[in-house]
Structure 1
Amino acid sequence: MTAHGTPGEQLPVDPVEGAGKVAEPVPVRRRPTSSRGWAIDTSPLHNPGYRRLFWGVAATMLGQQMTLVAVPFQVYDLTGSSLLVGVTSIVALVPLVVFGLLGGAIADAMDRRRLMLVTGAGSAVTSALLAVQALLPGGGNIWLLWVLVAAVSGFTAVNQPTRSAVIPALVGTAGVPAANALAMTVRQVGVIAGPLLAGVLISLGDLFLAYAVDALGFLVAVLLLRGLPPLPPAGRTGPLRLGAAVRGVGEGFTFLRTQPVLLMTFVVDVIAMLFAWPQAVFPELSETRFEGSPNGLGWLFAGVSVGALLMGLTSGWVSRVDRQGAVVLAAIVVWGIAIIGFGLASTLWLAVLCLAVAGAGDMVSAVLRSSMLQTAAPDDMRGRMQGVFLVVVAGGPRLGDLRAGAIASAAGVSVAMVSGGIVVVVAMVVVALVVPSFLHFRASRTAG
């Protein structure tokens, strides 16, 4: 299946002649279910608008992952302090939370194409400044580095919910699951390849190039997004003010309290990440249980992403799931059981296999939860829902690291992982019983 459209295909609205017109979704042409039914569904790439969005995501993911490796390396190189490396994570997290929520409200109050262009350009400039500061005498400046890290995190926090919110407008409701699977799969490619390439450049002493690749990726994304038509949210838009954005965040949470299905998409993910995120115990396992295995730490860090990538490449069936709520719960149960196996694994290969299974389950859950948010929420709330989604996705693993590290220090890695996995499995059964509307949620009931 090619990623290119058919001859004669055009954008929904010409970006020059159609200025001021609103994009209409181009129906996604579905392939027969009997043909390559397990392969990833690439039909959304026939849509010219989504194709620009997809390649924009692809262009930025490699550089973003390289920056995620380069920043902590540079902080440690400048300070020699692991504590300050941890502080850097908080420096990035705070604007991610604040602007993730505000950004969702902003995305529901102005043309989303314009917002993606502004934040993409801001990210490109900030990443370029990161590259420049790496050339300063002494290898950089920690305070300047923190300011730039906070800035790029803030731009990303606004850009990412906006990109997610426009997907239904580009591909229509039926194309949303497949479009999400494509975007999340290409992200996993970046998660795996980015750190490897960053490691090569860092070993060569070239932090400048690692940051420059990030800046170039954002620039390419901006150029691609310029070809999209205007994408205003449904409803009335007006001049954007900070007070209105803050009120918009409150309106989003008020709306969420009245929507148990949408609320539970966040709750189940928080449970999965809080009680079973394994990353904090990787260093201890690599030095103790798997000390005889070369590059054990690298394999542990890659395990979840490898599983997610393989699931993404075989996710054709996911885009056809109707009972999305039930499958989300089942996928998180798989995650919990796999983490139990990881906690008990006595060999590296078995631990990595369990992590890969967990990553596959998480991929299915993430695709379907995002699709539920994008289709069940009204268009004028999609930005805010995606903002909350970003905060949950960013914050959950960090809280999970804290829980896992604390229990592993007190009672051992196996106790930390096995107990967490059991809690996740039991919690999903409780959710199914207590919130039957989530269990019985069907995509076909939201299709318009």
Structure 2
Amino acid sequence: MNSRPSPFLALQHRNFRLLWTGQLVSLSGSMMQTAAILWHVSLLVPESQKGLALGLVGLVRVIPIVIFSLVSGVVADALDRRRLMLLTQTGMTLAASALALITFRGLTVVWPIYLLTALSAAAGAFDNPARQSLFPTLVPREHLPNAISLNAIMFQAASVLGPSLAGVVIAALGVKWVYALNALSFLAVIAALLLMRALPQRAESEKSEISPRAALDGLRFVFAAPLIRSTMLLDFFANFFSSAMALLPIFAQDILKVGPQGYGWLYAAPSVGAVVASVLMVRLVDRIEHRGRTLLWAVVGYGAATVIFGFSQSFWLTCLCLALVGATDTVSMVLRNIIRQLTTPDHLRGRMTSVNMVFFMGGPNLGELEAGMVANWLGAPFSVVSGGVGCLLATAWVAWQTPALRRYRRDEPVLATQGAAAD
């Protein structure tokens, strides 16, 4: 009788296990700070400016990503990715430490929060392509879907722990201690990178040059590949229209009236659903036959849950809707990442990831700005409901435009650029 493969297969590889564990600690700290910044900003601005001020947090995150996206991918494909991550993680540690220091000294204006958030995002713009290009080299190719699913579990577990702890720490000790704990959390990834051994070495011929031509090669690859391009568009549109996380302080304070601890649970609710979905995906991802259709239906569920959340006046119904948002987003994220990683050559992974970063980070962060502006004009519930409807319409458009995605099946031998003519 054949036994099922372990759902933790990729963790048997030491270097992947080190990076996975370090990221779990570090991302928990980052998620704490993300939630804390929104709460902090909401307390520092007048009521009439709250929606816009919260939306601006997303804008200052996305500007460095747009500025550095192309060059960061080229750098990740040209340099030693582990050493590059050591530099970026150190930069983010310094930014979090500075934010903690000025908050301990008494911060009464929001612009330093925006500035340090932007500096941390600039470091992250170089960190993400290096990290996303490094981890597929830490496991054999046949273990990559399992590694991607385990990364989803790690990300979502951190997304539960971080905001939940943020709510408790803010209520007990104040927002300044959240920033301090986040600064310490980066040391876990730095330690993991230093402890790695016997990393695969890329041949010089596999490394790109740092030049405008190399950046354009990455763009040409992405936009000539219908499967990769469509997954990025789905990611962007879904998150642009349905990014309501920046409005959670308004829902917690003014609509549901649940205070900082209730806010922490609201912020963590998507990740609770996402953790459940991640665990299921570890076991089921290799059995999903129609991966393209499943991806599209997951994004439809994401938009529908967002619409119901916007109408909700109940704390528990809101938590349920947010959990469904997280669950469907995780199914979508795992399938998108599998498609992209399996159809991208290693020498282009950094550049593919940097282009994807514009969509992956730009969608939610620009969406937070859009959601904040609409909330300022027409109210937070209208902003959320209209965003969910926009997500559904955008998903229908991408499905119609990309037959290759609708047809995509498990283990289908697909070249990255296959299907371009059909589209």
Name the structure 2 match of 1:66: 32
Name the structure 2 match of 1:96: 65
**Aligned-partner residue type, residue 368 of structure 1:** L
Query: CA distance change for structure 1 residues 89 and 263 in 2, over 3 Å: closer, same or farther?
Result: closer
- Cα shift at 1:336: 2.2
Name the structure 2 match of 1:177: 145
Q: In the comparison of the two structures, how many residue pairs are matched? A: 409
Q: Deviations over 1:303-322 (max 9, x none)?
A: 32221122122222125435
Name the structure 1 match of 2:365: 398
Is 1:339 the counterpart of 2:335? The answer is no
Normalised by the length of structure 1, the TM-score is 0.78
Name the structure 2 match of 1:149: 117
Structure 1 vs Structure 2 CA RMSD: 3.6
- Cα shift at 1:437: 1.0
Give the helix-richer structure, 1 or 2. 2
- Cα shift at 1:50: 0.9
Classify the secondary structure of the residue corresponding to 1:388.
Answer: helix
- In the aligned structure 1, how far is the partner of 2:312 from the partner of 2:95? 43
- In the aligned structure 2, how far is the partner of 1:77 from the partner of 1:351? 23
- Cα shift at 1:55: 1.1
Name the structure 1 match of 2:277: 311
Is 1:274 the counterpart of 2:240? The answer is yes
Tell me if the contact between 2:269 and 2:326 (Cα under 8 Å) persists in the aligned partners.
yes
Name the structure 1 match of 2:222: 256
More off after superposition, 316-325 vs 107-116:
316-325
More off after superposition, 281-290 vs 270-279:
281-290
Q: Deviations over 1:336-382 (max 9, x none)?
A: 22223334445332332222222111001011111211111111111
Query: CA distance change for structure 1 residues 224 and 368 in 2, over 3 Å: closer, same or farther?
Result: same
Query: CA distance change for structure 1 residues 76 and 304 in 2, over 3 Å: closer, same or farther?
Result: closer
Name the structure 2 match of 1:220: 188
Name the structure 2 match of 1:195: 163
- In the aligned structure 2, how far is the partner of 1:199 from the partner of 1:396? 26
Query: CA distance change for structure 1 residues 110 and 54 in 2, over 3 Å: closer, same or farther?
Result: same
Tell me if the contact between 2:239 and 2:367 (Cα under 8 Å) persists in the aligned partners.
yes
**Aligned-partner residue type, residue 86 of structure 2:** L
Name the structure 1 match of 2:403: 436
Is 1:387 the counterpart of 2:354? The answer is yes
- In the aligned structure 1, how far is the partner of 2:183 from the partner of 2:300? 39
- In the aligned structure 2, how far is the partner of 1:349 from the partner of 1:78? 28
**Aligned-partner residue type, residue 70 of structure 2:** L
Name the structure 1 match of 2:87: 118
- In the aligned structure 1, how far is the partner of 2:360 from the partner of 2:137? 23
Query: CA distance change for structure 1 residues 429 and 71 in 2, over 3 Å: closer, same or farther?
Result: closer
State the structure with bigger RCO (CA 8 A, min sep 6), 1 or 2: 2
Q: Which runs of no fewer than 5 residues in structure 1 stay unpaired?
A: 1-30
Equivalent residue for 1:362, pick from 321, 329, 333: 329
**Greater Rg over alpha carbons, structure:** 1
- In the aligned structure 2, how far is the partner of 1:440 from the partner of 1:220? 41
- Cα shift at 1:44: 0.8
Classify the secondary structure of the residue corresponding to 1:229.
Answer: coil
- In the aligned structure 2, how far is the partner of 1:292 from the partner of 1:239? 52
- In the aligned structure 2, how far is the partner of 1:355 from the partner of 1:128? 31
